Structures are given as structure tokens and as C-alpha cells.
Amino acid sequence: MGPENGPDATRKKIFVKTYGCQMNVYDSARMVDVMAPSGYTEVDQPEDADIVILNTCHIREKAAEKVYSELGCLRDLKKEKSGRGENLVIGVAGCVAQAEGEEIRRRAPVVDLVLGPQTYHRLPEYVGRLSNGGPGIVETDFPADDKFETLPAPERRKTLARGATAFLTIQEGCDKFCTFCVVPYTRGAEFSRPVTRILDEARALADAGVREITLLGQNVNAYHGDDGKGAAASLGHLIRRLAGIDGIERLRYTTSHPRDMDDELIAAHAEVPELMPYLHLPVQSGSDRILAAMNRRHDAESYIRLVERIRAANPGIAMSSDFIVGFPGETEQDFEATLALIREVGYAQAYSFKYSPRPGTPASAEEDQLPEEIKSERLQRLQALLGEQQIAFNRACAGSTMSVLFDRRGRSESQLVGRSPYLQSVHIDDAPESLFGQIVDVVVEEGYRNSLRGRLLETDSVPA
């Protein structure tokens, strides 16, 4: 198959598969953007592509293993294509590329290009070299040139907006060095983009029909970008500026560190209506002993007090978090302290993981690693509690009216799915097509574990 005889035959094609976090989603779109001037268009399956890039995640074990198994399939595809006289360039980008480097080409010699997250703007140059028969390339430097400045201007990006919601990376890297985490090694030191660049990108997104922007950064509330007057702007300041852009009706940010929640940001939660009342604020553990071993730089009490201050600023805010169970040396008592913290804070939603030793991180060298059975058992108990809280939160929404941004189609033809201010999925049946991309009021009829069902508020008013 394929358009060999069509007008498209000379176009070259790129397929990028994304693993992991939202920043990888953003980066994958930018890789497509940087290849566009060289004549590449995006396709949605590897069979149709001249270049396949796996944009990888290294945060937990399974993500890396999935990459290696995918490379096995791509090896077969490359062989098949080469039998037909076609070439296929295979690249591995993202955090596995950064962490494993040369090892990837040793384990999977089919890979032509290994590219860390700070160098994807050089993709056209590397693909050019490979197309001219050059040897395989491994690039895991943290170059001094700013990759964001090298990207095509926002308004010229093919993949700028794919609907009414968009991600916008404002900060990258992390200096916190939690002892379990690879991010400071794979993404490097903290870097914040200048305010003007972010505002330009946000304006271009608004012009392209985006209504909701999620600001991204590995440690996004450590944002301290150049404000154009020689000072550093905080995230709270940036949010106020973004909220002033016509068309931008909703703002979110992720992921934050408790130590970087400053007064200006907390005040923004009280005063900026565009800032959605939902906050993902990872705590990881409720045990002070474990938090210290994790180098989290806060204890359980200070986290709880912080949540109280945030709720004082915005009482309706829904909290979310990340948790790790089975960190080296975690006792039953430590684990119970985590359950206690969850009961005290009350979460609308949360992510939880079994600790997985990441090569090169301090915690992976600890001797008192926990057996898999204990990790699994604790994860189950933790998720049962978080699940109860999530269901309770969703059920309590029944009967209320909330604004929903419709951005997906549902299972049936006439069903639309959107997002509530609290990031819940909201389904409505018999939805007019015209609602797509719109923010409208919905009456919630029922809350389930992972979603809400509602109806349009307008249908309440009986025509005269």
C-alpha cells in the first residue's frame, strides 16, 4: 500500500512514537516540526515512514523494556523495507537515549541514531548525514545552543495545535536530585524559557484555536524565566501574563515540587480565574524518614500545611499527587504514614508506583531494597485508598454544574468527551458536533471511578 503513484510520492515521511510524560508529547511534535522544512510530513504508522523515532521515557523500568521490544519489531520492518529497496532510518530519542547512549546501539544495532532530549533540534542535520550513508550517530551532549530558539517560529509549526488543548514547555530539567529519580541526569540542569517566547507561543496557540494550555516542566514551579527587564519572572507572574491573552480561557501547569510553591503562585490560584482549580503536587511518601532518604527537602507536616495554605487561597481546589511505595528501607510503619497523609489531604486523583531502581541514582545503590511482593502488596493497598477517594470526589460532583471543554469524541457517534476544571473526563450523549472545541456548562448526572456523565445545561430550559 502507500501513495507511491500519488502526488505525495516524493514526500518523505516521519513517524514518532511517544512514551512517558506530557513533555515527551510536546517534544515529539517539535521533532515533526523541525523535520518539516526538509520535506517531511508526519504519518501515524511506522510502515509508512522513512524515519521512525521512538521518543522514550526512562522514569520507570518497564518504559525502557518496551522500547527494546519495539526495536525488535522495527528491525523486522527495516529488513522488509530493505528487501523492497526502501530505506528506514531508526532513531531513539528522549530519556532512554540520554541514559543509555551507546548501549542502545550495542543492544539494538538496527538503531541509526541515538538522540538525547536536549538535541532534537539537530535532527535534520543528523538525518541528512545518515541519508548520505554516514555512520550511526549517538548524541547525548547538553549543547550550549538553545534548542527552543532553533525551532521553527510557533506560527510556522505544522503541529502547533491539534485541537482546543495544548502543551507548552516553559521549563526543563531539574536541580532537586531526589535520590530515586533519573530526571536531573537525563534532562539536565534547570532551564527556564524567557517570558516573551512563551507569550509568543501562547498567542500563536490561541490564534490556532487553543483554549486550554498546560504549562510543562519537570519542575515547572521552579520556573524563573527572563522577564525581559533583566529580572526573573516567577510562575505566578507568568500565569497572570498568559491569562491576559485573548482566547486563552484555561491554564494548568505540571509537575510541581512542594518547595517551589511560592506566595505569588498560591495567590494566582486565588486571583486568576483562568488558572484551573486542580493541582498536581507530588509528595511521594508520608514518612519523614523516607522523605529524607529521598532527598525531598520537605517533611509530611510541611506538605500538609502547604496544602492548607493553597486551600485557604482556593477552597475548591482538587489535589493530585505522585506516590512511590517500596522505597529502599520503607517499613510497614513508613508506609502507614503515607496512608495517613493521604487520608489527611484527600486527593481527587493520584498516580502511584512501585519503586524501581534507576541505574546511576543514589537510591538504586541502597542495600535494603524491598522484595517485589511487599511492593505489590503496598501498592494495592495504596491504590485501594486512592481509588476510594477518587470515586468519592467524582460522586460528589453529581448534581453540580461545571464548565467542560469538549476535546474528544466518545465511543458512540453522538458522544463527546471533555474535561472538567478538575481534569475529570466528562461524557455527554447526543452532543451537537458544534460543541467540539468549546467550553460549555454541563450538569453532572453521575460520577464514576474515572469519569463523569452529564448533560448540557441548555437542555434544562424548556422552550416557550
Q: Which residues bind ligand SF4 (CB under 6 A)?
A: 174, 176-178, 181, 183-184, 218-219, 257
Q: Which residue is nearest to ligand 5AD (CB)?
A: 322
Q: In whole angstroms, how close is the CB of 390 to ligand 5AD at the nearest point?
A: 17
Count the helix, strand and coil residues of the chain and give each as a percent rounded to the nearest 5: 40, 20, 40
User: Applying CB under 6 A, does 12 fall inside the site for ligand 5AD?
Assistant: no
Return the C-alpha cell found at 16.
Answer: 514518532
User: Applying CB under 6 A, does 370 fall inside the site for ligand 5AD?
Assistant: no
The whole-angstrom separation of Cα 228 and Cα 240 is: 16
Quick one: how far is CA 397 from the chain centroid? 26
Q: In whole angstroms, how close is the CB of 349 to ligand 5AD at the nearest point?
A: 14
Q: Which is nearer to ligand SF4, 184 or 225 (CB)?
A: 184
User: Applying CB under 6 A, does 355 fall inside the site for ligand 5AD?
Assistant: yes
Q: Are strands 225-226 and 451-456 parallel, antiparallel or unpaired?
A: unpaired
Could you say which of 17, 252, 358, 378 contacts ligand 5AD (CB under 6 A)? Answer: 358
The whole-angstrom separation of Cα 144 and Cα 36 is: 24
324 binds, among ligand 5AD, ligand SF4, none (CB under 5 to 8 A by kind): ligand 5AD
22 binds, among ligand 5AD, ligand SF4, none (CB under 5 to 8 A by kind): none
The whole-angstrom separation of Cα 145 and Cα 180 is: 29
Q: Are strands 171-172 and 191-192 parallel, antiparallel or unpaired?
A: antiparallel
Q: In whole angstroms, how close is the CB of 143 to ligand 5AD at the nearest point?
A: 25
> Contacts with ligand 5AD in 188-247 (CB under 6 A)?
none
Helix (H) or strand (E) holding 322: strand 318-325
| Bridge partners, 213 (sequence order) | 166, 251
| Burial (CB count <10 Å: 0-12, 13-18, 19+), residue 29 | buried
219 binds, among ligand SF4, ligand 5AD, none (CB under 5 to 8 A by kind): ligand SF4
Contact 15, 52 (CB under 8 A): yes
Per-residue interface string for the shown chain with ligand 5AD, residues 31-70, x marking contact by CB under 6 A: ----------------------------xx----------
177 binds, among ligand SF4, ligand 5AD, none (CB under 5 to 8 A by kind): ligand SF4
Return the C-alpha cell found at 464.
Answer: 416557550
38 binds, among ligand SF4, ligand 5AD, none (CB under 5 to 8 A by kind): none
Q: In whole angstroms, how close is the CB of 174 to ligand SF4 at the nearest point?
A: 3
The three-state (H, E, C) secondary structure of 39-66, written as one string: CEEECCCHHHCCEEEEEECCCCHHHHHH
Contact 246, 211 (CB under 8 A): no
The piece of 46-54, 65-73, 351-359, 419-427 that touches ligand 5AD (CB under 6 A) is 351-359
Q: Which is nearer to ligand 5AD, 139 or 255 (CB)?
A: 255
Q: Which is nearer to ligand SF4, 184 or 447 (CB)?
A: 184
Nearest to 12 by CA among 128, 175, 115: 128
Q: Please report, as a single letter, which amino acid is at residue 402.
A: M
Q: In whole angstroms, how close is the CB of 376 to ligand SF4 at the nearest point?
A: 22
Could you say which of 118, 219, 256, 284 contacts ligand 5AD (CB under 6 A)? Answer: 284
User: Applying CB under 6 A, does 162 fall inside the site for ligand 5AD?
Assistant: no
Q: Which is nearer to ligand SF4, 261 or 404 (CB)?
A: 261
The whole-angstrom separation of Cα 110 and Cα 120 is: 20
Q: In whole angstroms, how close is the CB of 364 to ligand 5AD at the nearest point?
A: 8
CA distances from 123 to 173, 202, 263 (A): 20, 25, 40
> Contacts with ligand 5AD in 168-187 (CB under 6 A)?
180-181
Peptide bond preceding 159: is omega within 30 degrees of 0, i.e. cis?
no
C-alpha dihedral sign at 43, 58, 131, 124? positive
* Residues at the interface with ligand 5AD (CB under 6 A): 59-60, 180-181, 282, 284, 322, 324, 353, 355-356, 358
